[in-house]
Structures are given as C-alpha cells and as structure tokens.
Amino acid sequence: MRGRKINIRKILLILLIIGLFFSGRALLFAMIIIDPGHGGSDPGATATQDSTTIKEKNLNLKVALLLAEELKRRGYSIKMTRETDVYVTLSERSEISNTSNADIFVSIHQNSFTSSSARGVEVYYYPGSVFGKALAEKLSTSLSEATGLKNRGAKEANFYVLRNTKAIAVLVECGFMSNPDELRLLTNPDFQKKVANAAASAIDKFVLEDLYSSKIERFNGRNRYETSAEISKALFSAAESAIIVSGDAYPDAVVASALAGYLNGPILLSNSNSLPGVIESELVRLKAKKVYIIGGTGVVSESVASKIKSRGVSVYRIAGIDRYKTAIEVAKYLNSHSKINGVFLVNGMSFADAVAASNLAGAAGFPILFTNRTRCPESVVDFINSLQSGREEVEVIAIGGTAVISDSAYEVFEKGRRIYGSDRYETSVLVQKEAISRFKFGVEKTCFANGVDFSDALCMSTAGFGLRSVLLLTPPDRLNSKTRNFISENSKQISRFLLAGGDKAITISCAREIAIAHLNQ
C-alpha cells in the first residue's frame, strides 16, 4: 500500500510538470523558483508556543507564498515547488527547478538549535558559486536590516538542493524557532510579510547589480548636457564633425539626426547663450574640426558659435525662419551631398514621433520634415517634389496616426505610407521593426531613452548609425507592454541594454522591468 502511494505521488508530479510545459509561461518561462522547505510528512523543526506545537513546514509555506506574491507584483515569473502542505522530495524540488530552466532558486526555512540563545538570519549558497554568494549576502543583509535580527551572514553549504539545482540557488534561514523571542516574531503575519518584502528587494537588487550588471549600461551625467557628452564618449573615439543643438528647444534639435548620420558625428547639447564646459571639453576630446549648429540664434546664440570658433573649429549654422524651414534647410544640405531616397514626415508640434524615428533617419539618410496635422506646408511639398526630378519617386513615411497627421497631409505624395501605433511607445517599436527588417538593424545592443523628455533620446539616436542598433522609447518609471513584448520576441539576440540618462530619466524600477522581460525568456 505504501509503495502504491509513492507511485501515485510520482505520477502526479510528472503530470504536473507536463501540464506546466503546455500551460504557457508558468514553467517554460519561469525565472524564480520559490521552495517552501519540508511539508507533508516532513514537519521540519518544531517548537512549542503557548502550549501549541509550531511546525517549520507551515511557517516556510506562509513566508514563501508571501514572497511569491510580492515577486509577481514586481513582474517576475514564479513557480513554487509546493503551494500546499504536501511532501516533495529533494530530488523532485531540484527537478522542478532544472526542468523550468530557472534563473534563481530560493529555498525558505526556519532555523533551530540545541541552545535557545542562538539567534539571527543566515543564508546558504553552494561552495564556489559567485552569484550564489552575492545573492546570499544581499538576502542576509536585507533581511537583517528589515527585521532587526542579527545578520549571521552568507555561508557555504553542500545541501542537496544547492548542489543539484542548476539555477543560482540559496537557502534562507529566516530566524531561530528554538529562540522564544524569534519564534514569536516568526509566527507573526506582519513579520512574515516583512521578511518576504525584504527578500524580494534583495532579489531585485541582485538582478540589477550582479546578474544584469554586465548587461545594462547607462550613459548619464549630472544633467542633460553631461549626458550628451557621455553618449558621445561611448560611441565616438574621435569625430571630425559634431552637431550642436539646443538642450531646451526641441523643434530644431529633432531634425539633426539625419545630418549626424551623414557626418558620422555626435549630437551635443548646448545652452542657448553659453556653451557648457563639458561640451567644450568633449569637442576637444573628439578633435572636431567642424561644428554644425542647427537652428537660429534664438535657440543657439552667436556667443556659443564664437566660443567654438575660438578653439580653431569651423562653425556652420543651418537654420530657417521657423522649424519647418530649418528642417528643409537640413534636408537641402543632405541632398546637396548625397542622394535622398526618402523622408520622414512628422507633426511639427509634437516631437515624440520624430525622436522615435531619429536613429533610423541617421542610418538611412532620411531627413525629418515637419507637417501640420491636416495640411502639409507648401514649402515642404515643393521641396519633396523637387527631389523627384530625374529619379524615382522619393518615399514619404509619415510617423504617427491620424490624430497627429491626417491622411490629407501626406496623401499628396504618390509614394506615401504611414507607420504608427496606439501611442508613442508602440510607434517606437514599429519604427524599429522597420529598421530591423529593411535596414538590417540589430538588437544585440538595444538602446532605451526617456519618451517624455527627448534630450537623451535625441543624442542616443547616434547609436542608430554608430551601432546600427534599435532605439526604444520608454516611460521613465515603467516598461510599456509593447516594448516588453519586443524584448521578449528578440531576447535570444539581445546581449546588452544601453540606457540613456540617469535613474531619473529611466528609473531603477523601469530598468528592473527591462531585465525581468529579458530574463523571463
């Protein structure tokens, strides 16, 4: 009879694993395994409190369920080795983790000792595991700080689940049941939640600082001007030409990317009336011989130009009487030096779509031109028509939906089409898919920039021609669902994420979601 029960249990476990394989993300894309120690016929440690026997297995399960809930809330994919009071062998626990291709395995336990004076939290990892040690240290520190319990530290151990689990594995001892004071805490629901939240925070920190530290790189300075210089340093060892645009006024700045691509130089930001010292230093480092200022003296003053000239650098200003004419002047310059096969048409009063296409404009040599929502200005129509002379139709790609560019505004062009999504973030994804399919862009180094404040994204557009990499816009504090899907679809090809700006431009929370979206695949 006993043998029959064991067989039934094993059959049920096999059926569970098979079912999870075919139930989508539950096991196939699990990232973290939460393992409540003991269970069923194995109570673990026991202790008496107010004439009641407290079993470790029950405390483990309560903390583990809270931890799983918190990690799910933060966006992680979770699988538990047990969710009820059942017995699961050590080999079965390891099998569940290994079959799921989990990244992290966390086993939850409560400690016990022969002396009631033993106290504190400790976390075990397998000997020689660098990542295991890093996670164990973060967990023990976070749990101790959150609970006030003594930090007994991270310790090596040759436990079965640590030895036989392929994932980064740790075993957490939340406190000592044999210590009456700690037992009262361990049985308190509020304390259990505190432990779960502290463990989740430690896992978060580990994912970004250890597991993903080599995959996420930020280009940031103390302000947007320094950030533009840092992006330039990362992408250019030297450059004969550089582009200067206003760091405060975007209408002229957003049309600079195609010119930057042609000149193979960085886009740097300046104040209106003074050249920031960090930008002057960057021009020196680049050994720039030519600087192109985009926009009139109202956005980048002549005093800025004079400062640059004093360094022996030739300065050229490209500007029109308004944003529409400045965009045309940039396009004319490009056309006089290279053949233009297409243009991007964007709303002249809303710049998210222009920035979404900026890296592709730089790589493809498609200048960005402005239109009104319902009617394309005659000057823009005339310029595009002038490009048609003696050659094939020039392609006109409208970026954005009918709410920003009506059909009548771009259908005046015979070879016109539209790229748009439900919002600026989906539009960004669709533009980058165009860059991948048509212009052979790669996703190995996927770039991100703030989709609300465009200064960093504008400078990051140089990655389009420098790295031929996609550039995705994101809200500063979260990851858009369409962007998350893009990461998931391309996860096998992505090896690195390049983030423009500091943790205000793209918050730690958003960076974590980027890492999770990649890890979950």
Q: What is the mean pLDDT of residues 464-469?
A: 88
pLDDT(46) > 70: yes
How many other C-beta atoms lie within 10 A of the C-beta of residue 466? 23
Query: Has residue 2 got a pLDDT over 90?
Result: no
Say yes or no to pLDDT of 123 above 50: yes
Residues 6+ apart with CB under 8 A from 321: 296
Q: In the CATH hierarchy, which top-level class contains the domain 29-211?
A: alpha beta
DSSP H helical ranges for 414-478: 424-439, 455-460, 462-466
| 8 Å CB contact between 30 and 78 | yes
Q: Which of 521, 517, 494 is nearest to 29 (CA)?
A: 521
8, pLDDT greater than 80? no
User: How far are the Cα atoms of 70, 325, 395, 412 from residue 385, in angstroms, in the given order?
Assistant: 58, 15, 11, 10
- Told to judge if 173 belongs to the known catalytic residues of this protein, a careful annotator would answer yes
Please calculate the CA angle 276-353-324 and round it to the nearest 5 degrees: 70
- Strand stretches in 319-461, DSSP E: 342-347, 368-371, 395-399, 416-419, 442-450
Residue 20: pLDDT band (50, 70, 90) is: very low
Query: Can you tell me whether residue 262 is helix, strand or coil?
Result: helix
Backbone angles phi, psi at 406, to 5 degrees: -70, 160
pLDDT of 17 above 70:
no
Per residue in 322-334, pLDDT (tens digit) is 999 999 999 999 9
Residues of the chain with CATH 3.40.630.40: 29-211
DSSP 42: B
Range 17-31 average pLDDT: 40
**Which of 137, 173, 230, 329 is the catalytic position?**
173
pLDDT above 90: residue 125: yes
pLDDT band at 30; cut points 50, 70, 90? very low
- Cβ-in-10-Å burial (0-12, 13-18, 19+) of 7 comes to exposed
pLDDT at 7: 57
* Percentage of the chain lying above the pLDDT 70 cut: 93
496: which DSSP letter? E
